[in-house]
Amino acid sequence: MRPRHLSRAAVGALLSLALAACGGGGGFSGGNTSGGGDKGTVRMLVNITPNLTQSYWTELVKPFERAHPGVHVKIEAPTGKSVADTLPQQLAAGNAPDVVEQLTADRTRASQMLDLTDQPWVKGTPLAQQAAVGGRIYTVGVGEQAQSLIFYNKAAFAKAGIQQPPKTLDELTQDMGRLKAAGYLPLQTAGDFVTGLQLLQLADPSLAQSHPQWYQDVKAGRLKVGESLLPHLRLYKSWIAQGYVDKNAMGLKYPDSQTRFFAGKAAMYIMGSWFTAAEATAKKDFEVGVFPAPVQTGQRSPGPQGATMAAPYMILKSAEHRALALKLVQWLVTDKSAVTSQLQQDGNFRPGFDRRFTPLERQVQQILDAAPATVPQGEGYGDDTLPNGFNDAWNTQVQGLYVGRSPEKVAAAVDQWVASRS
């Protein structure tokens, strides 16, 4: 055979192969297309973290699938950076999932979500009313995450001679000085999303007291976000200047910061209650304690605790199997074993659901119980929301403190960001 013919034949074969393959695969929605059938595939977009792996999610929904023969729950991991970027991509593409985990409804998202207000089982779920938008419930969750917690190395505190955890931010700063003198890095932080998150978590109890109507005031234009957080930004800048946080921390990722804290080099770590799940399995040679984020001098201590819904679920209006999606979400947020498993896996809390607690988790529970109130944080949820993307914009600006920007400049940039989106 002459080579020319050979290559022509090869091209022809490949082409038919390619076309056949194109014809074969491709669709993205499985199952039948009848609107409310009780068989089919429910697609659920979930958040993937070191605690919540893809295999965890797949295992979680297995009992539900067993109880509903013919039903398949398809766990979908975000292809974008997060659920928050992936959902809009899918909506734009017209292939949104049926259920989405991790996001809470705001005015923009609510338009796409199923109104759950009239579902009887919704009433008992945590924070459902607080997360309502315009009085309607779109988001239901499994539990509560406490946000404003400072975990600390008990050995480090003992070595620095600190008897009582600090109650005010001034005390906190003084203790940082002692910890540094004792040879510790006072506060562990990281780049990623950690920098901005920690400062929000730290600010919740004091901000909620100095500006009890913060979200409403911001929305009405009576208050500027950056301005109201300027004291915290200044405080943070002073910590950078005094070496209370590592000036190279921006090169660290979120898991790095945990690893370093457990390695015993750093004395404190600001993080939400889910950190207890990591603590439960981490190797370390010291005991970890926890205290609520301090308040400003003269404020009531402990202050309100920043709290967010753990594992929030929403159902999309466009859901192919609406009835099935409803059943699934109901099961996820009310079934005892499903709820307990999720609480356990990500270190979250819910009254009435007893589970194995580590000593540290008991302390977090006590902090939650002792808090006079719970408050939303950052972007917030329900009616109290800042524009989409606030948390990341805030994070980027707070990191600016590390690269030489002044607190005033950072505050102004945050305010400009909010103004440009309102």
Partner 1 sequence: MTHATHTKPSRRGEGFATLLMVAPATALFAVMLVVPVGLAVYLSLTDWDGYSARPHVVGMANYAHLFGDPVMRHAATVTLLAAIVGTAGMNLLGLGFAVLVNGSSRANRFLRVVLFYPHVLSALVVGFLWSAILGTTGAVNSLVTAHGGSVLPFLSDPTWAVVTMIAVLVWAGFGVNVVLYLAGLQAVPASLVEAARIDGASRWQVFRHVTLPALGPVVTVNVVLSLVTLLKTYDLVVSLTAGGPAGQTQTLAYLILWNSFHDNRLGFGSAQSVVLMVVTAALALIVTRLRRRGEMAVYS
Partner 2 sequence: MSEGLTTIDARADTATAPPEPPGTVRPRARRPRRVWRPLFLGVVAIFMLTPLYVLVVNAFKPQQQILEHPFGLPLGALTTRYLGHALHNPEFDIARGYAVTILFVVAVNVLSVVLAGPVSYVIARSPRRRYRALLLVFLAGTFIPSQVLVIPVVYVLKTLGLMGTIRGFVLFETSLTLPFSIFLYAGYIGTIPVTLDQAAAVDGAGRLRVFWKIIFPLMRPVVATMVILNTFSVWNDFVNPQIILGPGSGLYTVTTGVYAAVSQYSTDYTVVFPTLLLAIAPLLVFFVIMQRHIISGLTAGATKG
Contacting residues toward partner 1, per CB under 8 A: 80-82, 84-86, 88-89, 91-92, 108-109, 111-112, 191-192, 248-252, 256, 387-389, 392, 396-397, 399-400, 402-405, 413, 416-417, 420-421
- Selected from 95, 129, 238, 337, the binder of partner 2 by CB under 8 A is 95
CA distance 224 to 241: 26
- ∠ Cα 380 384 389 (to 5°): 45
CA distance 195 to 270: 10
* Contact predicate 353/143, CB 8 Å: yes
Nearer to partner 1, 194 or 203 (CB): 194
32 binds partner 2 (CB under 8 A): no
Q: How many C-beta atoms lie closer than 10 Å to residue 408's C-beta?
A: 14
Residues near partner 2 (CB under 8 A), total: 43
389 binds partner 2 (CB under 8 A): no
55 binds partner 2 (CB under 8 A): yes
403 binds partner 2 (CB under 8 A): no
Nearer to partner 2, 93 or 403 (CB): 93
Nearest to 349 by CA among 272, 291, 295: 272
Interface characters, 64-93, with partner 2 (x: CB under 8 A) = ------------xxxxxx----x--xx-xx
From residue 47, how far is each of 13, 131, 155, 310, 371 by CA, in Å? 42, 19, 35, 12, 28
Shortest Cβ 61–partner 1 spacing (Å): 27
1 binds partner 2 (CB under 8 A): no
Pairing mode of beta strands 149-153, 266-271: antiparallel
Nearer to partner 1, 148 or 189 (CB): 189
* Contact predicate 137/115, CB 8 Å: yes
29 binds partner 2 (CB under 8 A): yes
Shortest Cβ 112–partner 1 spacing (Å): 6
CA distance 149 to 293: 5
Q: Show contacts with partner 2 in window 221-260 (CB under 8 A).
A: 252-253, 255-256, 259
In DSSP notation, 205-225 reads HHHHHH-TTHHHHHHHTSS-H
Q: How many C-beta atoms lie closer than 10 Å to residue 358's C-beta?
A: 15
Name the site residues for partner 2 (rule: CB under 8 A). 4, 7, 11, 14-15, 17-18, 21-23, 25-29, 43, 45, 48-50, 53-55, 58, 76-81, 86, 89-90, 92-95, 97, 252-253, 255-256, 259
